[in-house]
Structure 1
Amino acid sequence: MSMQTPKQLGGISFGLMDPETYRDMSATKVITADTYDDDGYPIDMGLMDPRLGVIDPGLECKTCGQHSGSCNGHFGHIELAAPVIHVGFTKLIRRLLRSTCRECGRLALTEYEREEFRERLQRAKDLGEDPNDVLKSAVRQARKASNCPHCGEQQADIKHEKPTTYYEVQDVLSGEYSEQIAAAMQPDEDDPDDEGTSPSELASQSGIPLDRINEIVAGEFRPRTEDRKALESALDIDLTEEDMNKLMASDIRDWFEDIPDDDLGVLGIDGEISRPEWMVMTVLPVPPVTAVRRSPSITAA
């Protein structure tokens, strides 16, 4: 009879697991979905590898040396050919993409705003209140930034297409800007008194030099942001179009690797325990043979 000293748990912490931990606790790397060979023996580095535990009578676990009934089983791992987004964290991924800078990884809040939200979060925890309202408010505030307050990089909006596709969305200069401007300068066919807008009049209304107006209308010069806004105001038109850039899983992982632990704390994430890039999987754990899987050979028998 085994005599073991009972232990009391102080608590249980749930979080993301480091890919290196998956590898460290793994008894073997799994490289094939095959289970048994033609002779009925488990295939090495397959889903029924004896290092993952044994359930077949007479077989010995190659990890602990125990037999069926005594072996608790051991985890394996699969090295993914490409990063894969964990479907259970899509909302949190979207929140991080919308609130951090792709260029430098910093939370798009000023130092004053960052400390303000940190204090509000701590106050909510001290009072036993739900911190989600504070976290959502921090994300909304960060999302308002048109440029990163730390590196100055222009910020794009993020669109989420379920289940795991994300796009960077920016308003860019329309590819047909010159045609749109030329059309807006033409007289209104329904208004006989409208004589249209001449290049010189447009230059006067927009504050843009006449020679540059002519180059823009001819498509020889792409208007700068301030010129575009002046032309849009003078002609009452929109010269922008939506540009969508699909973010690959590897892009998102690289992005999240740059987010400092200190900024993660403002969003309620303890970076010392769980890093956001771990939500993009590069390693997949394989459960022990003894845990949830039955042997096909036993089932067939």
Structure 2
Amino acid sequence: MDIDNDADLTVRRALFEQVRRHTGIAMNERKWVMLKGRLRRRIMTLGLPDYGDYLRVLATSAEEVRDFVDLVTTNETSFFRTPRIWDYLARDFLPHWAANRAGETLRVWSAAASSGEEAWSTAMLCEEFRARHPAMRYAIVGTDISDGILANARAGHYVGRSMEGLRQQRPELVQKYFRSDANGIAVTEPLRAHVSFRRHNLYDVPRELGQFDLVLLRNVLIYFDLEGQKAVLANVRRAMRPGAVLIVGESESLSRVADGFAFEQPLIYRNLERQPGAQA
């Protein structure tokens, strides 16, 4: 088979199933052109004649599965994406949390951290708040399914559109929390001390992550079908303290897919009570 030609229907469906198996993302025929475009170069690099042979490699190589996950997941984000969310966190969530949880450590989960901009944005917001309230303590965990993109997040080096956007929006934060080095613009230690990244599949129960006061699960649910959304939200909720806040993406809603969350305002929901079996 010429790699530039389409795979047959059976092979395409098998590839869709591999995407679902390893990432939880639901794909169908409408996504074939996109998936083919992402896999084509990798298949040529491996010297394979067609997509069926690539399926056989996936079945026998854990290393190739990791590369496959990196290829098929979408990682697009920016610093302080969706300003209204950050206004809510700065003006409402953080002051309310600090007033009611004095002496505790705020725990935040960036549940689809991608290249890290969301987690570092949250850290900058917390640092700005801590400058006015020195007793505040916080810890941020960023997770993603892609090892490659997590390596970028941990490195904390940013160039191009991502950094230019931050310079335009909040130049004072660039000056305070970034420094230039040989690899570009790097996050500084005051933020790194509070942020960690680790691999996690949202289809898995988050047994080792602990409990969180704030979860950012933005622009993720749109990639799952209805059953997948329910499974992801049930797992996320297991890692949320009673009264914790969940923030979703601009085109997402929990109205059809989640029990136990109360609508607070667009994109923002609150965990009502502890779910049976949740971690302490």
**TM bin (shorter chain):** under 0.3
Greater RCO structure (CA 8 Å; 6+ sep): 1
The structure in which a higher percent of residues are strand is 2
Relative to the length of structure 1, the TM-score reads 0.24
The structure in which a higher percent of residues are helix is 2
Q: Which protein has the larger Cα radius of gyration, Structure 1 or Structure 2?
A: 1
